[in-house]
Amino acid sequence: MSIALLASNLVAAGTPASTTTTVAKNCTVAPGGTKVVGLCTSANSLHISVAYRSIAPMLILAIGALVLLAVSAVLPKRPRVGLYPALTSAIGGLALLAAVLQWFDGAAKAGTVEIGGQIFYDRFSVLLLILISIAVILSSLASDGYLRREGLDGVEAYVLMLMSATGAMLMAEAGGLIMLFLGLEIMSISLYVMAAFHRRRTQSGEAGLKYFILGSFSSALFLYGVALVYGATGSTQFTQIASYLAGNVPANTGVLLAGMALLIVGLGFKVAAVPFHFWTPDVYQGSPTPFTGFMAAVAKAAGFAGLLRVLTQALGTQQADWKPIVWLLAVLTLGVGAVMAIAQKDLKRMLAYSSISQAGYVLLGVQAATTQGSSAALFYLFTYTFIVIGTFAVVDVVQGKGEARTDLGAIRGLARRNPLLGAAMLVLLLAQAGVPFTSGFLAKFYVIQASVDQGQYYLAVIAMLAAAVAAFFYLRVGLLIYQAPDEAEAPVSTPGGGDGVFLAGLEPVPSLDGNVATAVLQAPPSGRIRVPGATALVIGVSVLFTIAAGVSSFAIDFAKAAYSLL
Amino acid sequence: MNAAYLIVALPLAGALILLFGGRRITDPVSGWLATAMAAGSFVATVVVWATLLGRPSSSRSVDKTIFTWMPVGTLHVSFGLTLDPLSILWSLFVTGVGTLITMYSIGYMRGDPSFSRFFFYLNAFIFSMVILVLADNYLFSFLGWEGVGFCSYGLVGFWFDRDSAAVAAKKAFVTNRVGDFGFMVALYLMFAHFGSFNYSVVLAPLAAGHATIATSTATFIAVMLVLGAVAKSAQIPLYMWLPDAMEGPTPVSALIHAATMVTAGVYLIARTAPIIHFSPDAQWIIASIGAGTCFLAATIACVQDDIKRVLAYSTISQIGYMFLAEGSGDYQAGIYHTVMHAFFKALLFLAAGAVIHALHDEQNMKRMGNLRKYLPITFPAFIVGFLALAAIPPFDGFWSKDEVLAAAWHKSPVLWAFGVAAAGLTAYYMSRQVRLVFWGKSRWETAAADHGAAGDTGHSAAGDTGHSVAGDTGHGSVGESGHGSGAPHEAPWTMTVPLVILAVASTFGWLLNADFGGLDFINKWLAPIFPSTVATPFTVSTDTKWVLGIVATAFSLTGLALGMGLWRKAVSRPALEPAFLAHAWYIDEGIAAAVSGPLARMATRFSFVVDATWVDGLVNGVARSAAGAGRQLRRVQTGYVRNYALAIGIGTVIVLFYVSVRAGS
């Protein structure tokens, strides 16, 4: 890894290396700056000082994961209930603390690169580090109940979660394409395993496999994009690429643009933008529910961090080239996500399409290519983290053992079975629909505003129409929560789930008409739902944040502060 | 000044606890909790009031921002409180009267299966009302405005298992939507013209004389706001909902539909005075609405048989006086009357509630009588309220009505004539009411015996439209089984204590703004709100005032004498109870006929032709195409990894094709 670090750093510095150069004692550089031999000491300019403070949260998570493994090795096979989630959330809390300290430290270091230019240390990164730390805390707490219910408890899930978050942090802080790719892989490989974590559910294994195959495919495309961009600009570092493009016209624009296109595809896959979204419904549905929430929050945030860095920072000069692509992706993502969500009968699958649609709004912010748009996108991601983790936590307690009931019918009459849970879910759904006084409204408002400010009226109108379509399915679920199931109603068994179900081919399409849809819903289970304490805490925090960030502007001020210092 | 937050926070906390505590908080506890919260809010208001009082009158306006909701360009929608003489005066009586009525409800609602839901609504109402009053901008105020509308809806329809209650709640809600439309249009206009909703931005420069506003703009904004005010305060032409709203429990009628919520329109107009100042037309409209309403409603009140409906029409009539004063440019007089009215009308409603309670949910006055012997506390309390409302000196109503009428005289003798005529009618119908309720034979005994037939016929002849029998038979089976179970009994202490306090206030409350001896506290207190740049000062000479006062009192006394004389023994005087008035001038029926006649036909046509083919066609078309699109898209979502990879590959190729075209060009 250090070789790669040095190599790209050399290239970035633009060292004219026609022959092997001895830069310093015991430190030689091969022609082209591709090979570094020997030990470079602090005496020369190539020395890379590791500013640990800039990667502190990442280190905490990575070391934490190792500590967790070590602890599990010395403990008896079944340690005290709740030990691992408590430790994981404590590690997440430490990372959060470190990130918050960075927030204040980073203010003075706006836009600085550290560790040989491989790490961006600014508030943009730090905001995402805060977001990821929060996601770790919430998800580890939400997973506890699930894992114990399903008999999967052990240290592995938490270690994977921490490693995946480490990768996501690296993506958020990446100063160049290589670091971005490394982060992407670290994050993704853990996520593949997490998706397949429920050993006894075939869907889970299938989700992991699909995610892995398609993920590898997209990683390959991404890597090819990195190579092409490097070929066109001579660097993999964002700032270097930007300054090169600002000063020169690439000899071959085609190479640069093809590289850019492939980077968009690779990152578009991670954020589940249409048409690179196909894995999303199957993986979200098959993965263990709390992990789905984690995936939706962290992978999306990290992917968008990369997209924002690459497009606005590295390729800011090529706006005219990538804006139409992102425009199209945004429109497709908004439309397909909303329309497909309507047709779903499965709760998790519906939420998967909903998360696709939500990504469309963030793309709106990216497409604006302004400070305002980027901070709106960050704000969107920040609010969505809470919303999506909370929503999947509710789904988790509703579905019951073995993820038996994830169909829409299961949520019917939820308010009867647990009024607080029903109200919480309603708030979270309203937030996703973008109802005022929830964070979702402000989030949508600011991305659309950013779009309008750039004169993108069509895009803004499409986004609003998509929100109207999306409101239908969110409100339908909201209605179901408060619909009392008919006492005399016998459980109706419906064959299959939604579309694309697990290698089974096509399924009959349910009607759009609400009544008919209700008629084919299965009767919900009865009895009061008990929510594990940790899960209840997660849901409560999510709901409170959703409301607090919706009624006041503190969160957007935060996001603005993050971006204005980029 | 930080106590201001408590004014808002305490009722909110109470409402939330009751909402989430639900049935776990049992019978009296939830009532006392709600009372404590309301009382705390009142104490906090008093603290703020005292703090403001300690300042020089020029600096008695404080804005406290709670949080900024969304900063959008130049528009900063912030939610904050404005603490100035006007808002504090209003919250004083909202929380004060609210506390007494909440306490009263503990006794009144005892045994109701939805006891804690009731108190949730009461606390939520007080919260919304103080938001409405204390908000520092029109938008936040509008939220409170909608909040009180919602609580009113929930409380009118509190016994929603009664059809009439559910219908009345809907009527109130729909009528208020018309007004809300006006309010919203006014908000848009205001934003277009001032670029802000904040009182400090919109109103302060106008009030200070630093800015002016075109007459046409002022008129448009003012008229739209007045449309909102008219709906909320039940004035012509949107008053019909208030009598029906009497379906709610009596404390609700007292709190929301007499003392506080219906005065929101009066508050809004007073608050907007700096804009209205620039529009003489708007002033005339307000004054005319007030004069017309106070007379019309008074005539209708003369023939109602339901004890609460008489009071409801009297409320409409009295709010007419407040509008009349405001339209005439004497805001202080209007507000003075508002405060006095809050005392005596709350008193009358609570006393009426005690009567209804004593007779086990009997509301028809023709089946009452002779109750003075049975209700030793309620009876004198009711009489005090009666004298205050009838404007007999020296009770509250006399003094405030006197000032209103003086202002009306200054505006136009015609307006004054309406007001004085209404004053005479007021004394008459209130005398009729007390005669029917407290004197004569004890008709409730016989009424109990032949309750079915006689009772119902008597009612259908008298009650006005849309009011079904269910309204009188009370809620649930309590009314039925309670009949004949013994003599009427006085209410428990939680109900009588508020009566006594309000009776004292109705007797001596006028001293808050007496016209002599430097006792005009309210005028002085409000002076910074209504400088000469807001309300052109005028004086009515003392001699004229004497004459006007004597004439008005003569009218009142005549009405009182007539009422007391004519209804001494009589129970029914068909000549004096014409169907025309009993049916409230047939206005409701006229509207109903218009709505169910041509309008309904048009609506039918729209729903079956236009809606079915065009609108539904469009909506269904969208839905069908969405479903179709979904179906087609689902085909792609096969579940096969190879297909997914292919799709991603195709997407990549398309993007690459696009960039190659771009690179080539």
pLDDT digit string, tens, across residues B433-486:
888 888 877 777 665 554 443 333 333 333 333 333 333 333 433 333 334 446
A1 lies in some domain? yes
8 Å CB contact of B660 and A419: no
Mutation for A interface: B67, B76, B634, B643, most A CBs within 10 A? B634
Q: How many whole angstroms separate alpha carbon B448 and alpha carbon B549? A: 45
Same domain for B617 and B648, yes or no, is: no
Task: Decide: B164 and B237 in contact? Cβ < 8 Å.
Answer: no
Same domain for A43 and A93, yes or no, is: no
A343 at the B interface (CB within 8 A)? Answer: yes
Report mean pLDDT in 10-residue bins for chain A, 566 residues: 45 44 51 48 55 88 94 80 90 94 70 78 88 96 92 90 96 93 95 93 91 93 94 90 88 88 94 91 93 95 94 90 93 90 87 94 92 90 95 92 84 86 93 90 91 91 89 87 63 41 35 42 76 92 92 77 59
Inform me whether the pLDDT recorded for B643 exceeds 70: yes
Q: Where are the alpha helices (DSSP H) in A369-418?
A: 371-399, 414-417
Q: Which residues neighbour A24 within 8 Å (Cβ) at sequence distance 6 or greater?
A: A40, A41, A43, A44, A46
A502 lies in some domain? no
A504 lies in some domain? no
Q: Please name the residues between 506 and 535 in chain A that touch chain B, using a CB distance below 8 Å.
A: 506, 509, 511-513
Same domain for A157 and A210, yes or no, is: yes
> Which pLDDT score, from 0 to 100, does residue B463 have?
37
Residues of A in contact with B639 (CB under 8 A): 282, 499-505
> Which pLDDT score, from 0 to 100, does residue B486 have?
61
Same domain for A78 and A2, yes or no, is: no
A512 lies in some domain? no
The amino acid sitting at A520 is: V
Same domain for B253 and B398, yes or no, is: yes
Residue B367: which of B247, B484, B496 has the closest Cα? B484
> Which pLDDT score, from 0 to 100, does residue A522 have?
72
Name the residue with higher pLDDT: A511 or B89. Answer: B89
Question: What are the C-alpha distances in Å from B388 to residues A51, A79, B343, B363, B394?
Answer: 81, 77, 9, 22, 8
Please state, as a whole number, how many other Cβ atoms lie within 10 Å of the Cβ of residue B2: 10
The amino acid sitting at A255 is: V
Q: What tokens were used for B485? A: 């179970």
Same domain for A17 and A56, yes or no, is: no
Task: Find, in chain A, the residue whose alpha carbon is nearest to that of B658.
Answer: A325
The amino acid sitting at B114 is: S
8 Å CB contact of A339 and B629: yes
> Which pLDDT score, from 0 to 100, does residue A485 have?
62
Which residue carries 């390959």 as its tokens?
A: A220
Q: What tokens were used for B57? A: 């009158």
Same domain for B354 and B470, yes or no, is: yes
Residues of B in contact with A217 (CB under 8 A): 645, 648
The amino acid sitting at A280 is: T
End-of-domain residue from the set A49, A64, A87: A49
pLDDT > 90: what percent of chain B? 8
Please state, as a whole number, how many other Cβ atoms lie within 10 Å of the Cβ of residue A199: 11
Please count the structural domains in chain A: 2
Same domain for A169 and A301, yes or no, is: yes
A325 lies in some domain? yes
Least confident of B115-129, B363-377, B615-629: B615-629
Same domain for B561 and B461, yes or no, is: yes
Summarize the confidence of residues B324-349 as an average pLDDT: 89
> Which pLDDT score, from 0 to 100, does residue B242 have?
83
Same domain for B150 and B178, yes or no, is: yes
Same domain for A324 and A426, yes or no, is: yes
In this structure, chain A runs to a length of 566
Same domain for A28 and A82, yes or no, is: no
Out of B641, B652, B662, the one facing A210 most closely (by C-beta) is B641
Please count the structural domains in chain B: 3
Q: What tokens were used for A72? A: 């599990």
Q: How many whole angstroms separate alpha carbon B158 and alpha carbon B12? A: 20
Which residue carries 């409560």 as its tokens?
A: A540
A257 at the B interface (CB within 8 A)? Answer: yes
Same domain for B331 and B357, yes or no, is: yes
Same domain for B616 and B544, yes or no, is: no
Tell me what the pLDDT averaged over chain B comes to: 81
A334 at the B interface (CB within 8 A)? Answer: no
Domain that holds residue B624: 583-634
Q: How many whole angstroms separate alpha carbon A237 and alpha carbon A225? A: 14
A508 lies in some domain? no
Same domain for B617 and B569, yes or no, is: no
A516 lies in some domain? no
Same domain for B652 and B598, yes or no, is: no
Domain that holds residue A442: 52-480+530-563
Inform me whether the pLDDT recorded for B273 exceeds 60: yes
Q: Cα angle vertex A39, ends A36, A40, to 5°?
A: 85
Q: Which residues neighbour A108 within 8 Å (Cβ) at sequence distance 6 or greater?
A: none
B641 at the A interface (CB within 8 A)? Answer: yes
Same domain for A233 and A170, yes or no, is: yes
Same domain for A11 and A133, yes or no, is: no
> Which pLDDT score, from 0 to 100, does residue B543 have?
83
8 Å CB contact of B645 and A502: no
Same domain for B205 and B288, yes or no, is: yes
Residues of A in contact with B70 (CB under 8 A): 442, 445, 553, 556
Give the H or E element holding residue A366: helix A347-368
A212 lies in some domain? yes
Angle, in degrees to the nearest 10, between helices A123-149 and A56-74: 20
> Which pLDDT score, from 0 to 100, does residue B453 have?
39
Please state, as a whole number, how many other Cβ atoms lie within 10 Å of the Cβ of residue A70: 11
Same domain for A61 and A189, yes or no, is: yes
End-of-domain residue from the set B564, B582, B600: B582
Q: How many whole angstroms separate alpha carbon B523 and alpha carbon B89? A: 11
A503 at the B interface (CB within 8 A)? Answer: yes
Same domain for A36 and A113, yes or no, is: no
Same domain for B652 and B510, yes or no, is: no
pLDDT in tens, B532-590: 777 777 787 888 888 888 888 888 888 888 888 887 777 777 777 777 777 777 777 77
Inform me whether the pLDDT recorded for B518 exceeds 80: no
Same domain for A28 and A145, yes or no, is: no
Same domain for B266 and B408, yes or no, is: yes
8 Å CB contact of A512 and B68: no
What φ, ψ does residue B239 adopt, rounded to 5°? Answer: -95, -10
